[in-house]
Structure 1
Amino acid sequence: MNVRFLAIFTLSMCVAGAAAQPNFSFYVSTNGNDSNPGTETAPWRSIQHAADTVQAGSTVNVRGGIYEELVSINVSGNASDGYITFKSYPGETAILDGTHLTPGARSGMLTIHNQSYVRIEGFEIRNYRTAEHRLAPLGISVTGAGSHIELLKNNVHHIEQTFDGRDGPGHGANGFGIAVYGTDAKAPITDLIIDGNQVHHLKTGSSESLVVNGNVTNFRITHNVVHDNNNIGIDVIGFERTAPDPAVDQARDGLVSGNLVYNITSRGNPAYGDEQSSDGIYVDGGTRILIEQNVVHNVDFGIEMASEHQNRATSYITARNNLIYHCNTAGISIGGYAPERGRTDHTAVVNNTLYENDTAGTGSGEFQMQWNMAGNIFENNIVYAGPHCLFVWNRSQAEQNRPTTTIDHNLYYCASGPQASKWAAASATVTGFDKYLESTGNDLHSSFSDPHFVDPAGKDFHPKSGSPVITAGANTGLPVGELDLDGSLRVTSGKIDIGCYQRK
């Protein structure tokens, strides 16, 4: 991740947020009337009426209750007057409920199209369903172009596309929890914040729970809880022809941090059948993305940085200080989706903790390398394999002996011991840690040793005092970041630990 980019991005967000804002407060209530003035004592009835009426700098306080309406935000704030904010009234929850509403070809419970300086905060958005293949329900939809969109502390659930597709994996219909699609080739969606939302119990068909796609830049996906969905948790996408110019059809320059993602599987999803191929966090064609301080568990793939598009790359991604455990397939996966489809370039996987992944015994191991890779790094990671004792799977025989990924300064362990450890490649599987070192030349500064977690059964993966991971990591030249998963300093007295935690 480009440090200069992060500094400039953070500064720009702070400056924008500091703009003076007029104090125009309006109110919506289930017992209001749209002919009222919208005051606290005489509120409006519909959120849509407020969205058609208010101006820059306004705050719309929506009282608790159920609103059976689809809302389209048709107004923008601006840098001088400030955001237009739509939020649940303090201490209450405004609910957008789609139980009795019919989705359109692509329709959101709440839609923002070509608007800027809009903040959506504290809504519950639920129960929007269809089984029609041609229809696509969305919880929150942001499309077109625009800047300074904030989606904060919303609870999006039971958005469901249940079409029983039988045309093969990935050919089902589409549904989304939160979807941001930059569809304008001339201007991006930029300065986007998606923070503190819950996105759960979705049926998304071939689509994703929370996604940014196309011409989207300078975004932050932070502190969200995404769980119990039947396809990908968080996705950053490029090259799907979302924006009509290939030069900008790529989500880029973003941060995915502090999220909790769990119970995500495509198994049983009609679009995928028995496949376990959903990701907790996925970058498919994005570039210059920082993925850090996330906890991902009980999903199919933990974190995947791949590309599904021919001659297109996922590139310049840093995944660091993440905890990934009990995934059905690989904990981390990189490389092109297939020999003829996509590649992964200049991706750094550093200071992560992987624990007993590939629980379904798929043979993908803890760290999976697929096809068409160049300039990648896998270092300073704790890799604790489960009963299969399978650590690395390199699917591409043609690339086994090329320096596509630098692998070193890691700590490996499985209960069966180093002689039972397996390191798989397309041509053969090497058994034994020493034989793996000899045959590959990888991990010359790595070790095979128990990391001595505090309480792995209780999901406490901090290292105990005396753990071999302490001060054993490489620091020079790696993008290790400033903070570990706990938010503690990543480097202490010039030393760095292996794994996602730094012992104080």
Structure 2
Amino acid sequence: MKISKKKNNSVNSFSLFLLVLLSSCEQYTMFNESAKAVSVSGQKYYVSNEGDDSNSGLISDPLKSIAYALTLAEAGDSIIVREGIYFEKLNFPRSGSTNAYITLTSYAGENALISGNGLASSGHDALIKLSSVDWIRINGMEIAHFSTSDGGKMLDGILVEGSSSHIEVTNNHVHHIHNNASPSIGREAHAIHFKGNGATAMTDILIANNIIHDNRTGTSENLTVNGFVDGFIIQNNEIYDAENIAICIAGGYGANGTTSVDYARNGLVTQNKIWNINGKTGQVPVLLQAAGTIGIYIDGARNITVERNKIWDSDRGIGLVSENDGFPTAYCIVRNNLIYNNRAEGIYIGGYANYPTGGTRSSLVLNNTLYHNAGELGYYGEQVGEIRINANCHYNEIHNNILVSRPDMGTFIRKNDNSGSFNGIDFNLYYTTGSITRWFWNGNIYNSLTSWNSNSGGDSNGLFGNPMFNNLGAYPPDFSLQISSPAINAGTNSHTTSAGNIDFLGLPRYISTIDMGAFEYQ
């Protein structure tokens, strides 16, 4: 049954220019998330544990070494790896050419494991490395068990660096990439790492359908895009059981020696599932005993859309944050995400008080559903809230979200200080079953939606009431809306395409008037 969608003429938007700037993120063609194999053409070189590198490489006469097969492959060729364990570190020696990829893939229906078990490492090392090569596919491989206990090393499962472009990393299983160095001397590792340290931008990057788990990354992340990268999709990956950030899109960390281009831009992070990201199991607790690790971290990057992701049972959900002066996170959209049962903030934006040219600027937080996050106090014993606004936020808008606080916490929004300007917060729905309700704003506490609105100017069109989710007792919980939900028809249409044309489930987003939250009632 479908209810009538009434017209809502309310508009509260002072930054319509964002619609033009951010609409570029709609250009990406979505990756087919059901695809588990890639088509191969050209010469096929088969590799098997029972092969020999003096063989022809035919399926009946396979090679022994993946590394040797790579030396033979030209544009359009494929290395197809049979079931087995391969103790090798791989470095692609050449590029493919336009639409003629060099492909490394497992044989259909078989599991090929590239293992670092027992292999030596030095400096910044990886099991699979691509350095300024183009038109490469890595598909369907298991990549695991690469470790060190030496401080000063960085280990990666897959490392793509230089100006490598037209790269696809799909359907891989990356796990147990471990830097076991003492936290006191620092440790770094990544499962998948794109480092744009070349003279020209990395572009046309696809990272999709990978399973990433049980990596020991120290102060680094599981899936990282950093430096001079322009145009990428991170889609439908599963990341879990990790000690630090699941997905990081970064700028300002010196990945590229040319400061003016040292940030990732024009990316889409969509339909990823992230759970059990627990910073207390890693390096961070040595310094700060609190829930500080994040699911998706946009840090000093620009023009990034984060949509339709699901993050639960972790420390934090999604951050639009800057840790560096001169690299504000800007022109980003966080929309139609489901974030629940996390220990700290569901969504947070902003930077640090001593970094005035960082922070978060001209970004949108639209139509997200946040439920029972902020279950623990912050680093300083503070209530953190479903949404947190740190220092130096300018021209951001937070609209059409559903925020349901834990009954023992009751904190919806926390704004740390009075820095920032022209941030619009409106058309949000708040609810808790507990007796405490709190909005922290510029050092003051307001205990009702009315007093919050009167004193902050926020949520003049906001609501307080039960959002009427369909079935919180299901596994996983069903956060779609019942017919009686006050969130239906209650949002603002002012953001048009910036709110996305589809909701969390991929169903039509606008039916006359947009609903609040990540799910549009159909």
TM-score (norm 2): 0.90
Give the match's secondary structure for 2:452: helix
Check conservation: 1:22, 1:58, Cα contact below 8 A: yes
Distance 1:359 1:36, change over 3 A: same
Q: What's the % identity of the aligned pairs?
A: 33
Q: Which has the higher contact order (CA 8 A, sep 6+)?
A: 2
Distance in 2, Cα, partners of 1:22 & 1:488: 36
What letter is aligned with 1:346? S
Deviations 1:451-493 (A, max 9, x none): 011122331111111111111111123511111010000012x
Tell me how far 1:277 sits from its aligned partner: 1.3
Structure 1 residue runs of 5 or longer lacking an equivalent are 14-19
* Aligned partner of 1:394 among 405, 409, 415: 415
Long gaps (5+) in structure 2: 1-18, 33-38
Aligned equivalents of 2:63, 2:376: Cα separation in 1: 53
* Equivalent residue number for residue 15 of structure 2: none
Find 1:421's aligned residue among 420, 437, 445. Answer: 437
Following the alignment from structure 1 to structure 2, what is the Cα–Cα distance between the partners of residues 147 and 464? 45
- Residue 315 (structure 1) aligned to one of 317, 330, 338: 330
Q: In structure 2, what is the equivalent of residue 279 of structure 1?
A: 294
Amino acid at match of 2:191: G
* Residue pair 2:301, 2:327 contacting (<8 A) in 1 also: no
Distance 1:231 1:240 in 2: 17
Structure 2 residue aligned with 1:93: 111
Within the alignment, does 1:68 sit opposite 2:87 as a pair? Answer: yes
Question: Where does 1:10-409 land on structure 2 (aligned, <5 Å)?
Answer: 10=29, 23-79=42-98, 82-166=100-184, 172-184=186-198, 186-273=199-286, 274-340=289-355, 342-362=358-378, 363-386=383-406, 387-399=408-420, 402-403=421-422, 405-409=423-427
Q: Cα deviations across residues 104-143 of structure 1 (Å, max 9, x unaligned)?
A: 2111111111110000000011111111112221111101
1:248 is displaced (CA, Å) by 1.1
Change (3 A) 1:423 1:271: closer
Q: Map residues 429-440 of structure 1 onto 2, 5 A cutoff.
A: 429-440=445-456
Report the number of matched residues: 486
Q: Report which of the two has the higher share of strand.
A: 1
Per the normalisation by structure 1, the TM-score is 0.93
Structure 1 residue 21: Cα displacement: 8.2
Task: Please state whether the residue corresponding to 1:146 is helix, strand or coil.
Answer: coil
Alpha-carbon distance change, 333 to 462 in structure 1, aligned in 2, over 3 angstroms: same
What CA RMSD, in Å, does the superposition of the two structures yield over aligned residues?
Answer: 1.9
Say if 2:235 and 2:272, in contact at 8 Å, map to a contact too. Answer: yes
Mean CA deviation greater in 334-343 or 68-77: 334-343
Distance in 1 (CA, whole Å) between partners of 2:201 and 2:451 is 50
- Distance between the aligned counterparts of 1:272 and 1:311, measured in 2? 28
1:23 Cα deviation after fit: 2.5
Structure 2 match to 1:16: none
Structure 2 counterpart of 1:232, which letter? I
Q: Distance in 2 between matches of 1:456 and 1:74?
A: 52
- CA 1:46 to 1:288, structure 2 compared with 1: closer, same or farther past 3 Å? same
* Partner Cα separation in structure 2 for residue 374 and residue 157 of structure 1: 39
SS at match of 2:499: coil
Amino acid corresponding to residue 365 of structure 1 in structure 2: G
Note the C-alpha offset of 1:8: 5.0
CA contact (8 A) 2:441 2:456 kept: no
Q: 1:212 to 1:323 in 2, by over 3 A?
A: same
What is the letter of the counterpart of residue 374 of structure 2?
D
Which amino acid in 1 is paired with 2:507? S
CA distance in 2, matches of 1:443, 1:128: 50
